[in-house]
């Protein structure tokens, strides 16, 4: 497929280059021609005898011989030195509404320059971006986009934030970290959309250069994580605790999958844990499942199930609970926990009204947690 055809067929998919963006950055001029893999030394690993390396970035701690790659497929041992192969090699770039991430308490109504490289450190059977997350970097056509150019593009497009999203940004940690620093030089914010499979040290380092982190809590069951994610629940819970204790803004998404993680007991236990460990003000998004990738045998989540989950979470003391992937639902909007009036009205990814004034409810004056300006 030629470049013009590719761009024409790609607009609106959320998985590819946004229309018009290449012309604004000379580093993207060669898009469509397969870029070489990067060879930038990784930051979190240990060297062992006989040219072995041990990755210290996520809980897998892959121990690798020469020429072997980690589980993510984008980090490789080359002669006893561990390298990231996707530094500056973006495969997806868009200017998205920040609500799409979703962040509902972070600069509502603005756009975030959103980017990703290939790769992931888990294998969710319901992944919506599997075409780029569940492949090796050689299987996509990346384009060169160094960290400084990321910041320049965000500024050009008047995006007040940069979001590292679509795949798993932990696997392109070095690229994300350096891009975040460049963005901050221009007064821009940084957002991370992650599954939370990251070791404590790199997470603490990342928190120093980003402003908001959204963590996907895919279930509150270890067996679910083992069978449907190939991940580890305890690692994700520890990541939520770490972010909640930091200065970074935290939001949590729970994709409700019929018969697998939608029981009243699991939703109640998760809500209680979240209130105790992250506090009552953490926004929780119950998102509607759609059958895709390797999990097509289940129907979309009934809206009534989402509504019941929201009622449960509210009943357990969480103050900001949303329903996602149901455009037009009242629970897309933000309600003041004091006067119960709508203070941010949303339809889909569009903000129709914003009544938050100086971080407070415009009706009763109660402070509303979030990043509003």
**CB crowding 272-291: b at 16 or more within 10 Å, else e:** bbbbeebeebbbbbbbbbee
Centre a 10 Å sphere on the Cβ of residue 246 and count the other Cβ atoms it contains.
16
How many Å apart are CA 89 and CA 145, to the nearest integer?
A: 6
How many Å apart are CA 168 and CA 180, to the nearest integer?
A: 16
How confident is the model at residue 25, as a pLDDT? 34
The residues facing 285 across adjacent strands are 253, 322
Q: pTM of the entire structure?
A: 0.91
Residues 6 or more apart whose Cβ sits within 8 Å of residue 144: 27, 28, 30, 35, 88, 89
Burial class (CB in 10 A: 0-12, 13-18, 19+), 158: exposed
The answer to whether 119 and 140 are in contact (CB under 8 A) is no
Q: What three-state secondary structure class fits 344?
A: strand
**Domains defined along the chain, listed by start:** 40-84 (no CATH), 89-328 (3.20.20.70), 333-373 (no CATH)
Q: How far is CA 102 from the centre of its chain?
A: 8
How many Å apart are CA 82 and CA 68, to the nearest integer?
A: 10
The per-residue pLDDT string of the chain (373 residues; one tens digit each, 9 = 90 and over) reads: 333 332 333 333 333 343 333 333 333 433 334 458 999 999 999 999 999 999 999 999 999 999 999 999 999 999 999 999 999 999 999 999 999 999 999 999 999 999 999 999 999 999 999 999 999 999 999 999 999 999 999 999 999 999 999 999 999 999 999 999 999 999 999 999 999 999 999 999 999 999 999 999 999 999 999 999 999 999 999 999 999 999 999 999 999 999 999 999 999 999 999 999 999 999 999 999 999 999 999 999 999 999 999 999 999 999 999 999 999 999 999 999 999 999 999 999 999 999 999 999 999 999 999 999 9
The answer to whether 34 and 89 are in contact (CB under 8 A) is no
Burial class (CB in 10 A: 0-12, 13-18, 19+), 110: middle
How confident is the model at residue 34, as a pLDDT? 47
The answer to whether 78 and 41 are in contact (CB under 8 A) is no
How confident is the model at residue 7, as a pLDDT? 30
């Amino acid at each position: 497929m030629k470049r013009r055809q590719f761009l024409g067929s790609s607009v609106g998919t959320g998985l590819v280059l946004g229309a018009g963006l290449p012309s604004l950055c000379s580093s993207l001029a060669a898009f469509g021609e397969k870029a070489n893999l990067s060879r930038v030394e990784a930051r979190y690993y240990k060297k062992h005898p006989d040219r072995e390396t041990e990755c210290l970035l996520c809980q897998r701690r892959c121990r690798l011989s020469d020429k072997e790659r980690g589980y993510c497929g984008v980090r490789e041992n080359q002669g006893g030195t561990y390298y990231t192969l996707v530094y500056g090699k973006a495969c997806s770039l868009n200017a998205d509404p920040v609500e799409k991430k979703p962040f509902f308490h972070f600069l509502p109504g603005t756009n975030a320059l959103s980017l990703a490289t290939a790769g992931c450190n888990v294998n969710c059977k319901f992944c919506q971006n599997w075409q780029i997350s569940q492949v090796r970097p050689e299987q996509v056509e990346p384009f060169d986009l160094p960290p400084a150019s990321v910041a320049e593009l965000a500024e050009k497009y008047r995006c007040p934030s940069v979001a590292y999203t679509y795949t798993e940004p932990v696997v392109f940690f070095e690229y994300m970290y350096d891009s975040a620093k460049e963005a901050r030089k221009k007064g821009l914010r940084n957002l991370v959309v992650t599954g939370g499979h990251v070791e404590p040290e790199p997470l603490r380092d990342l928190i120093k250069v980003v402003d908001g982190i959204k963590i996907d809590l895919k279930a509150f069951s270890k067996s679910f994580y083992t069978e449907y994610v190939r991940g580890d629940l305890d690692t994700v819970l520890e990541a939520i605790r770490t972010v909640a204790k930091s200065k970074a803004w935290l939001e949590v998404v729970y994709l409700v999958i019929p018969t697998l993680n939608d029981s009243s007991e699991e939703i109640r236990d998760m809500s209680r844990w979240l209130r105790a460990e992250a506090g009552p003000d953490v926004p929780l998004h119950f998102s509607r499942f759609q059958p895709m990738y390797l999990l097509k045998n289940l129907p979309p989540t009934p809206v009534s199930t989402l509504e019941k989950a929201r009622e449960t979470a509210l009943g357990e003391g969480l103050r900001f609970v949303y329903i996602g992937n149901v455009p037009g639902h009242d629970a897309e909007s933000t309600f003041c926990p004091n006067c119960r009036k709508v203070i941010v009205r949303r339809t889909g990814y569009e903000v129709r009204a914003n009544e938050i004034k100086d971080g407070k409810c415009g009706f009763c004056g109660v402070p509303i947690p979030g990043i509003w300006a």
